[in-house]
């Protein structure tokens, strides 16, 4: 393993552990020092599991609630609106805090107040502007260079499959051999974001390479095994391999594995696939998420005309 790859893996693991550790430390401190917080967190956990929220959302929201509880050393139920505004002002003025941290703070407080039927308090919280940056997208030529870059067949197939089916990195890592249905040319994505299953297209052109990989690597249980067969490949290992391939392919873009998914959605739109079908293939909960690709896709507008003309055409 190269020195760069080892460093990338170490940094990924350190970043993930630091974020999780920071949230857990705050929550445990709030449990010890703030009356009633243990019960609040238990209720948070219960409702988020029932609502199908992700573990990261649970920790982002509860971390924010823990921080404001520790700030005033009392339960949110005992805070008045001026105190909540004072805390939000301190977060907004903090130059080290990211915009997403402020957003999670507002959303966490809103979730908490609604949990305790305090809708009036939830509605008084400030709205969060949703200025989303347009995602990076690869050109088709860049994708061809990227898929040729890795020396190992496993990585070439993994990247190609991720793009060809529009998968999230968590989804491709969790794929099992039994999820590939070559008879129906489908891939089953199980319990993805929002705890939902869906079927995506298995590309005919990727099937020969996929079969060659399975024959040579003989994976067990998971399609892409980690260090041990029968165990899934870690997200950090995939991202590390991707960055090395990006460098080798000489693609100078701020990109991650998720860029393959953005490219999938954009290219489908450019190929004439309707936005609703793309939404279903990508497993988006809301059409607004999919519509961002309308701002990126290069769609020929020269044939625009009034539909009235075709009535009598």
User: CA torsion angle for 288, 293, 294, 297 (degrees, to 10)?
Assistant: -170
**In the chain, which ranges are E strands?**
180-181, 186-189, 198-201
What is the DSSP code string of 186-216?
A: EEEE-S-TTS--EEEE--TTTHHHHHHHHHH
Residue 104 annotated to the active site = no
Give, as one character, the DSSP assignment of residue 249: T
* Ramachandran area for residue 267 (φ above 0: left; ψ -120 to 50: alpha; else beta): alpha
Select from 196, 199, 175 the least CA-distant residue to 187: 199
For the question of residue 199 being annotated catalytic, the response is no
Which of 192, 198, 203 has the alpha carbon at shortest distance from 165? Answer: 203
Selecting among 193, 235, 243, 248, the annotated active-site residue is 193
Query: Of 8, 61, 163, 293, which is the active-site residue?
Result: 293
Cα separation, 74 vs 68, whole angstroms: 9
Beta strand pairing call for 186-189 and 180-181: antiparallel
Q: Which of 279, 157, 301, 140 is nearest to 216 (CA)?
A: 157
140 is catalytic: no
Whether 193 sits among the annotated catalytic residues: the reply is yes
What are the tokens at 151? 């020396």
- Concerning whether 121 is annotated as a catalytic residue, the answer is no
| Cα gap 313→311, rounded to integer Å | 6
Q: Which residue out of 40, 63, 154, 261 is catalytically annotated? A: 261
Of 103, 114, 145, 284, catalytic: 284
Q: Tell me which of 104, 168, 262, 279 is the catalytic residue.
A: 168
Cβ-in-10-Å burial (0-12, 13-18, 19+) of 95 comes to: exposed
> Is residue 261 annotated as part of the catalytic site, yes or no?
yes
Residue 148 half-sphere exposure toward CB, CA atoms < 13 A: 9
- What's the CA gap between 256 and 269, in Å, rounded? 21
Active-site annotation, residues = 168, 193, 258, 261, 284, 293
């Amino acid at each position: 393993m190269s020195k760069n790859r080892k460093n990338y893996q170490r940094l990924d693991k350190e970043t993930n552990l630091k974020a999780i550790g920071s949230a857990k430390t705050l929550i445990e401190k709030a449990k010890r020092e703030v009356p009633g917080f243990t019960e609040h967190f238990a209720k948070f956990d219960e409702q988020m599991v029932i609502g199908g929220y992700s573990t990261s959302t649970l920790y982002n929201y509860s971390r924010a609630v823990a921080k404001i509880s520790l700030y005033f050393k009392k339960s949110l139920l005992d805070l008045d609106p001026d105190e909540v505004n004072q805390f939000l002002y301190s977060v907004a003025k903090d130059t080290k805090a990211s915009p997403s941290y402020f957003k999670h703070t507002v959303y966490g407080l809103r979730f908490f107040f609604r949990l305790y039927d305090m809708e009036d308090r939830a509605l008084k919280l400030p709205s969060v502007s949703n200025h989303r940056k347009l995602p990076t997208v690869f050109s088709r030529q860049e994708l061809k260079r990227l898929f040729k870059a890795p020396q190992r067949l496993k990585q070439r197939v993994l990247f190609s499959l991720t793009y060809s089916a529009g998968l999230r990195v968590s989804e491709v890592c969790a794929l099992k051999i039994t999820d590939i249905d070559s008879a129906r040319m489908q891939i089953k994505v199980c319990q993805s974001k929002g705890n939902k299953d869906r079927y995506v297209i298995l590309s005919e052109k990727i099937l020969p390479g996929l079969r060659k990989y399975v024959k040579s690597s003989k994976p067990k249980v998971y399609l892409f095994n980690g260090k041990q067969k029968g165990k899934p490949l870690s997200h950090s290992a995939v991202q590390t391999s991707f960055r090395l391939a990006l460098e080798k392919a000489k693609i100078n873009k701020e990109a991650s594995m998720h860029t393959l998914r953005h490219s999938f959605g954009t290219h489908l739109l450019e190929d004439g696939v309707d936005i609703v079908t793309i939404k279903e293939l990508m497993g988006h909960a809301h059409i607004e998420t999919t519509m961002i690709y309308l701002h990126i896709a290069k769609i020929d507008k020269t044939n625009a005309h009034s539909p009235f003309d075709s009535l009598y055409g």
